Amino acid sequence: MKKKEIAELASAELEKLYPDAECTLDYDEPYQLMFAARLAAQCTDARVNVVTKTLFVKYPTLQSFADADLEELEQDVKPCGFYHTKAKSIKEMANQLINDFGGNVPDTMEKLLTLSGIGRKTANLMLGDVFGKPAVVTDTHCIRITGRLGLTKNKEPAKVEKDLLKILNPDTSSDFCHRIVEFGRDICRARSPKCTQCPMNSFCQYYIKGDK
């Protein structure tokens, strides 16, 4: 079975399982999603949402983040871990967005990657969720599961992204990634995946080859 066929079958099954899957980070403005995603590095989305619930009230505008006292901002984001680096990135991003992009989040990969602390994972999240562009967010769930399905042999996020962009439907690639996160939490876990209960085991290479 070709990779594109497997991708189509997987996409269909994921849509059945999680028709309403979406980003689990809470936000109202595009820049808030970007800041929340920065805070989510090595932190759970649930904890980030607790922090941003008060953070986005305390700093209601992009300018207020740009003007924030760095030490105070560090304490505000401390529960998310790596707070020195994350606070510095957020303050720098706010200034970059104001000074370089007129207060708007840019809508291209090239420009997003110029922002402090932003890598391809967050850039793809912004492109898919905010701008509705083809995007592949290669988090640990995506890398693990697409590898098991046989869609990629790579482990490096950028290479997995490149592989998947070739075979996923560009109109639904972003949704595919949100759904695969839910699937990874529920069924295709890193340890002890529920292979016998999986609706994809008829075409999953991990199951077929007996790697379970």
pLDDT tens string 2-36: 999 999 999 999 999 999 988 999 999 999 999 99
Give, in order, the Cα–Cα distances in Å from 208 to each of 63, 186, 203: 54, 20, 7
Q: With beta carbons less than 8 A apart as the criterion, state whether 105 and 126 touch.
A: yes
The reported pLDDT for the residue numbered 4 is 96
Q: Considering the entire predicted model, what is its pTM? A: 0.92
Distances (CA, A) of 178 to 10, 11, 24, 55, 87: 13, 11, 9, 25, 26
Query: What is the mean predicted confidence (pLDDT) over 38-48?
Result: 95
Q: How many CB atoms lie within 10 A of CB 94?
A: 26
* HEC string for the chain: CCHHHHHHHHHHHHHHHCCCCCCCCCCCCHHHHHHHHHHCCCCCHHHHHHHHHHHHHHCCCHHHHHCCCHHHHHHHHHHHCCHHHHHHHHHHHHHHHHHHHCCCCCCCHHHHCCCCCCCHHHHHHHHHHCCCCCCCCCCHHHHHHHHHHCCCCCCCHHHHHHHHHHHCCCCCHHHHHHHHHHHHHHCCCCCCCCHHHCCCCCCCHHHHCCCC
- Give me 128's structure tokens: 């898919």
Distance CA 61, CA 64 (A): 5
pLDDT in tens, 168-187: 999 999 999 999 999 999 99
Residue 212: the pLDDT is 53
Q: Are 115 and 96 a contacting pair, CB within 8 Å?
A: yes
Q: What is the CA radius of gyration of the chain?
A: 18
The per-residue pLDDT for 21 is 87
